[in-house]
A = this chain, B = another copy of it.
Amino acid sequence: MVGEVGENLTLVELAKILNVSAATISRALNRPEMVSPAMRERVLDAVERYNYRPNGVARSLRRGETRTVGLVVSDIKNSFYSSIVQAVEDALSEHGYSVVVCDANESREKEQRALALLAELKLDGIIHAFSGSDLSELNRLGLGSIPMVEIDRASGMKGAGTVLLDNRLGSRLAVEHLLELGHVRIGMISGPERLTTGRERVEGYRLALEAAGVSFDSSLVGFGDFQERSGYDLAKRLLNRADRPTALLVANNEMMAGALTALRELGLRLPDELSVICFDDARWATHVDPPLTVVAQPLEEMGRTAATLLLEQIAATGRPGAAGREPRVRVFPPELIVRRSTSRPGRPRKGR
């Protein structure tokens, strides 16, 4: 039956049916102005009737572009990244690009597989939240010639645009807030040292402490992996000490979730017995008890910016001087949102 769903026919098959050349159909579809109105209509009609769909793979091969970009995130379950996905998607689709997402699951191996896939698919560009693979590994992946921007975490790969948070400032805002409230023993749960976010958030913490004349005690900081479990483990370790801190800064929302479980198990009441503050204004941050004081990131803006930088790079590809251009770096300021998980230390403890 004509117009049947099922198998899709090819350009040549359709051409045969219409008794025109394949080139004509292609033109009617891609450069309608180059074809006579009558022909155009005849072709478009047939395309409709037979439900012809161009084969994107063949087209990509011929054209050398896919109009699709890849986005690899470190952890799709983390609402920070899923928000980024949405922002990037919105921005890119406005410009006619599609985006496909890969989840690296905070694993370097999966990260490499994902990047290799995207390079192999010959996508037009990649937005990448680095998970910590070796740079040399990354460089072998054939990513060299493909436009790329990194978001949230910088790998140091050259040629890539970069969209970052001012992590040091974020920690400083948090620590200053706690300092003002009167805390001195402030614990910190950070991310892996191999990641810029992991390192810089600790640095900001240390700097803010020292600026206030409080000496840095490395035993008060733990390095997790940005996943829930490590937040739980490190919170337990930090809070089981005899001289436990009166406040805790956690470097992302996932580890905060784990820390909350730990605090509950330890029977600590917030904020009376412990003040907590974390990076990322997760959507549940206002629903927990007490609502969380957080260092929020401008996700929407960061996502859009990454999209814009990538588009610029794609546009510049192959143009004179493109190779020599300095990759752009954009750093965004975090915002402290004070809610009720932070208060002055040493409040009457009740029953303790």
**Chain A residues with a Cβ under 8 A of chain B:** 5-8, 51, 53-58, 60-61, 66, 68, 70, 76-77, 79, 82-83, 85-86, 89, 93, 98-103, 105, 110, 113-114, 117, 119-122, 139-142, 144-145, 228, 257, 260-261, 282-284, 286-289
Query: Which of B101, B113, B282 lies in contact with A102, CB distance below 8 A?
Result: B101
Complex interface: chain B residues within 8 A of A58 (CB): 61
Decide: A53 and B6 in contact? CB cutoff 8 A. no
A113 and B90 CA atoms in complex are apart in Å by 13
Decide: B100 and A100 in contact? CB cutoff 8 A. yes
Give this chain's copy count.
2
Complex interface: chain B residues within 8 A of A98 (CB): 102, 113-114, 117
CB distance from A113 to the nearest CB of B (A): 7
Query: Could you tell me the dominant secondary structure of chain A's interface residues?
Result: mixed
Decide: A77 and B68 in contact? CB cutoff 8 A. no
User: Nearest chain-B residue to A78 (Cβ)?
Assistant: B82
Decide: B287 and A257 in contact? CB cutoff 8 A. yes
A79 and B114 CA atoms in complex are apart in Å by 21
User: Nearest chain-B residue to A122 (Cβ)?
Assistant: B57
Complex interface: chain B residues within 8 A of A114 (CB): 98
Complex interface: chain B residues within 8 A of A6 (CB): 144-145
User: Nearest chain-B residue to A70 (Cβ)?
Assistant: B100
Decide: A93 and B113 in contact? CB cutoff 8 A. yes
Complex interface: chain B residues within 8 A of A82 (CB): 76-77, 82
CB distance from A221 to the nearest CB of B (A): 24
Extra A-B contacts (9), CB below 8 Å, given A68-B121, A76-B86: A8-B144, A53-B119, A55-B120, A57-B66, A77-B79, A100-B100, A101-B102, A260-B287, A284-B288
Complex interface: chain B residues within 8 A of A89 (CB): 103, 105
Complex interface: chain B residues within 8 A of A100 (CB): 70, 100-102, 117
